[in-house]
Amino acid sequence: KFPSKVKLVDVGPRDGLQNEKEPVPAAVKIELVHRLQDAGLTEIEVTSFVSPKWVPQMADNAEVMAGIRRKPGVRYSVLTPNMKGFEAAVASKPDEIVVFGAASEAFSQRNINCSIAESMERFAPVVQAARAQGIFVRGAISVAVGCPYQGEVDPQGVELVARLMKEIGVQHCGVADTIGVGTPRKVQAAMEAALRHYAIDDLSGHFHDTYGQALVNTMACLELGIWQYDSSVAGLGGCPYAKGATGNVATEDVVYMLRGMEIDTGIDLDKLIDAGKYISDYLGRKPNSRAATAILNK
């Protein structure tokens, strides 16, 4: 019933670090990427090509991309909200780009400074240019189950954005619970809405863990057969335009759960915990992962 293997995309270097107040040196970000790939991650969301005025922590995007020792079989993805971002990103040779929209008008305005309809106009040429160059295009739908400005978001909001993304040629749809308010049935309903436009193999879940629901929401999606998830090493992160929202579900916790369920991720949990400890030590805090904490305290 459950998928026999799961692909995890570690978004720690991007989603995890974008909200850090103090600049994290590019060398530390690069080392984190290296440790993640050594732990067996096959896709890493490295950085974003957004306005440095909006997200200063990602201003070293090109430097970080240039510094990575690329490992064969690993995909490196970056966020590109518009042509300016895409053009800057191309020189860094990403394997994949991410355009990010929202299921609520209010969040779209706060995060990317335009309406949902305008966002699609901005994404369309990005998608076209990326695909023409053989770069895979992923789309993210933020606030898929709840919005910090609008409140409840219904599945029709997700369905609309999934449809619009499909129409402009976005190849993969990531359904995101930006502020971690979702619970299993709501998350399943959001996924089912996206499934009306995307096949199960082209869909992923991105769950922030603000309310401690991310793991159970992952389980609810496994029940639907969804086998791709974003997660963040050491549970790092939060979105600068979603006040109070905490990090993504910790990669360590997801790997621990899946290992116990005999679902293959190809990830070495001990090496992953070391990667999480490396970045947590740098930031001067404990890893925000229950599994990592338990194993480190043994």
Residues that bind Mg ion (CB under 5 A): 15
Q: Give the contact letters, 79-118, x = binds to ligand HMG (CB under 6 A), - = no.
A: x-xx-xx--------------x----------xxx-----
Segment lying near ligand HMG (by CB under 6 A), choices 46-54, 124-132, 266-274, 290-298 = 46-54
Q: What is the largest CA-CA distance in the chain?
A: 52
Out of 42, 51, 109, 171, the only residue in the binding site for ligand HMG (CB under 6 A) is: 51
48 binds, among Mg ion, ligand HMG, none (CB under 5 to 8 A by kind): ligand HMG
Instruction: Extract the runs of DSSP E, i.e. beta strands, from the chain.
Output: 7-10, 43-48, 75-79, 96-102, 136-142, 146-147, 151-152, 172-177, 203-207, 228-231
Q: Can residue 15 be called a binding residue for ligand HMG (CB under 6 A)?
A: yes
Cβ-proximal residues to 205 (8 Å cutoff; 6+ apart), any chain? 174, 175, 177, 187, 191, 217, 218, 221, 226, 228, 229, 230
The answer to whether the beta carbons of residues 223 and 2 sit under 8 Å apart is yes
Please say which residue, 13 or 85, places its beta carbon nearer to ligand HMG. 85
Q: Can residue 150 be called a binding residue for ligand HMG (CB under 6 A)?
A: no
- Which residues belong to the active site? 239
Span 206-225, contacts to ligand HMG by CB under 6 A: 206, 208
How far apart CA 293 and CA 280 sit, in angstroms, is 12
Rounded to a whole number of angstroms, the minimum distance from the CB of residue 178 to Mg ion is 6
Please say which residue, 147 or 195, places its beta carbon nearer to ligand HMG. 147
Q: Name the residue with the smallest CB distance to Mg ion.
A: 15
Length of the chain: 298
- Three-class SS of residue 228? strand
| Contacts with ligand HMG, residue ranges (CB under 6 A) | 15, 18, 48-51, 54-55, 79, 81-82, 84-85, 100, 111-113, 140, 142, 176, 178, 206, 208, 239-241
